[in-house]
Amino acid sequence: MPAKPPPPPPDHDAHDAPRDGLFIRLYFGDGRFIGPGKIELLETIRLERSILSAARKMGMSYRRAWLLVDELDRMFNERVVETFPGRRGRGTELTAFGERLIALYRGIERDSAQATREATEELRAALAESRQPPPEAAKPSAPTPPASRRQSGR
């Protein structure tokens, strides 16, 4: 069984590291879905207690983070975050449902990873030693100049 890579240091930006493992996106059949990005945003909001700080930490715009939070709040019967205007820098908290949403999603990830562990390990063992660049495609030849117009003698 291959050794697991060590966890990243606390100040490591997870967006810089290549992904490893299962990628779960849960579709609800009506166009709505939840995946690792939205869950990571909620977890970062929990840590930072601020949508703005979470957005900065994740390298996204405040507008993008706010739209994702708004989408989550509209997706479910219960809100996932509660904001407290006037609290500078610490004006956002997860609701009990927001915490439950994270727990349910992470449980799905954990159970799925466990269920697919053997197949994943077999595929990982079959990987080439290093990533190989894709074969070079045949280089296109220089474009053919347009045919010159004939001048008629009229």
Region label for 31, one of left (φ > 0), alpha (ψ between -120 and 50) or beta (otherwise): left
Q: Tell me the per-residue pLDDT of 67-114, one tens digit each, with 9 for 90 and over.
A: 999 999 999 999 999 998 876 667 899 999 999 999 999 999 999 999
Q: How far apart, in whole angstroms, are the C-alpha atoms of residue 24 and residue 35?
A: 6
Q: Give yes or no for residue 152 having a pLDDT over 80.
A: no
Q: Quote the DSSP letter at residue 92.
A: E
Measured distance CA(69)–CA(59) in Å, rounded: 16
pTM, two decimal places: 0.71
pLDDT of residue 146: 58
Share of the chain above pLDDT 90, in %: 61
CA–CA gap between residue 45 and residue 64 (Å, rounded): 14
Is the pLDDT at 150 greater than 60, yes or no?
no
Class of domain 32-125: mainly alpha
Number of neighbouring beta carbons within 10 Å of residue 145: 6
pLDDT of 138 above 70: no
Q: What is the pLDDT, as a whole number, of residue 7?
A: 44
Nearest-angstrom CA–CA distance, 85 and 91:
6
SS3 11: coil
Task: Write down the pLDDT at residue 90.
Answer: 77
What is the pLDDT, as a whole number, of residue 91?
86
Helix or strand (DSSP H, E) at 135: none
**What was the pLDDT predicted at 85?**
81
pLDDT given for residue 80 in this prediction: 97
Q: Can you tell me which residue has the tokens 């004939």?
A: 150
- For 14-59, the pLDDT digits (tens) are 556 677 788 999 999 999 999 999 999 999 999 999 999 999 999 9
